[in-house]
Amino acid sequence: MKQIRLLLFDVDGVLTDGTILVHGDGSESKQFNIRDGAGIVWAQRAGLSIGILSARSADATAIRAAQLGIEIVVQGSANKLAGYEQILREKALTDAQVGYMGDDLHDLPVLRRAGFSAAPADAAPEVRAAVQWISPSGGGRGAARECIEHVLRAQGHWRAAVGDYLGS
């Protein structure tokens, strides 16, 4: 865990509960958890890079990433392993330096490669069986925040990231 420099997150089913609202005009919307957003900000404050790796492309994802200052955004990558390898090349990282949280079968190739693998509580059974850590919360319900806290605590950076709020 001490080697982790980048935390990557799937979107649908991890940063959201997997629900996609399709409106009458064909546009879509998603619901993101504010606690996950706070965790992302704290992770960045602690020096971790945060990225998104999603098989689907959605304007809502790009907007939320911009709001949170997430610069690594790979969307529309049906082959998630190819997207993951692209990120590694561009950022000059090794598998050991990356943590990934995914929830479904198409995440397995990346979860098997990443130095740290995690899943929300409501991930597919095969995913939960393959990862190193499972959040007590479901996707879109704080799972990403809990993952970030787990990594920052393991690295000894949690208190520095949130100390202003804790009074230390």
Q: How confident is the model at residue 150 (pLDDT cuts 50, 70, 90)?
A: very high
pLDDT of residue 8: 98
Work out whether strand 6-9 and strand 98-101 pair parallel, antiparallel, or are unpaired.
parallel
Largest CA distance in the chain: 50
Q: How confident is the model at residue 76 (pLDDT cuts 50, 70, 90)?
A: very high
Mean pLDDT throughout 117-144?
A: 98
What is the SS3 assignment for 60?
A: helix
pLDDT of residue 31: 95
Find the helix packing angle between 34-45 and 158-166, rounded to 10°: 120
Angstrom distance (rounded) from CA 150 to CA 132 = 12
Mean pLDDT throughout 159-166?
A: 84
Mean pLDDT throughout 79-107?
A: 97
Domain 6-161 has CATH 3.30.1010.10: no
pLDDT of residue 43: 97
Mean pLDDT throughout 3-7?
A: 98
Nearest to 144 by CA among 57, 59, 64, 63: 64
Nearest to 49 by CA among 14, 88, 103, 15: 88
Q: pLDDT tens-digit profile of 13-56?
A: 999 999 999 999 999 999 999 999 999 999 999 999 999 999 99
* Annotated domain spans of the chain: 6-161
pLDDT of residue 163: 80
Mean of the per-residue pLDDT values for the chain? 95
pLDDT of residue 100: 98
List the structure tokens of 29.
Answer: 């919307």
Mean pLDDT throughout 75-90?
A: 95
DSSP symbol at 102: -
Residues making up the chain, counted from first to last = 168
Angstrom distance (rounded) from CA 79 to CA 136 = 28
Counts for the chain of helices (H) and strands (E), in that order: 7, 8
